[in-house]
Amino acid sequence: MSISVSSAGLDLRRFDASERIRETGALGDALTHIRDVAASRAPILTGALRASGFVASSGMSGRVVFPLIYAAKQEHRDWQVHPHGGGAHYLRSAMDTEVGEAMRIIADRIFR
């Protein structure tokens, strides 16, 4: 899942939000939060899927990646029961529920 940040709605004459996001690594911090929540919601059998997540970010764009070969299948298998915890849509649900917190993290970093 990818996220991009736009500073189109900000008055950049006084404050260059894009530059501050790049300088502070704010997007990476926000995506790390989303990765952590997604990992806690991922199906668990051996723990490998939960441990495999990482963030790749550069400037104003980035993504959360769970690179294991079965990660995408587990994301979409909403019919499968996971007796050890976690479930389908672990990444999508984290993105949906945590976008507000991610934006707060970005704001905290750029306005320090």
- What is the model's pTM? 0.81
How many structural domains compose the chain? 1
CB within 8 A of 102, min separation 6: which ones? 3, 30, 31, 33, 34
pLDDT tens for 100-111 read 999 999 999 998
Residue 66 is given by DSSP the state -
CA-to-CA distance for 112 and 107, rounded, in angstroms?
A: 8
Structural domain harbouring 58: 2-110
Which tokens sit at 111?
A: 């306005």
What average pLDDT score do residues 38-58 get?
93
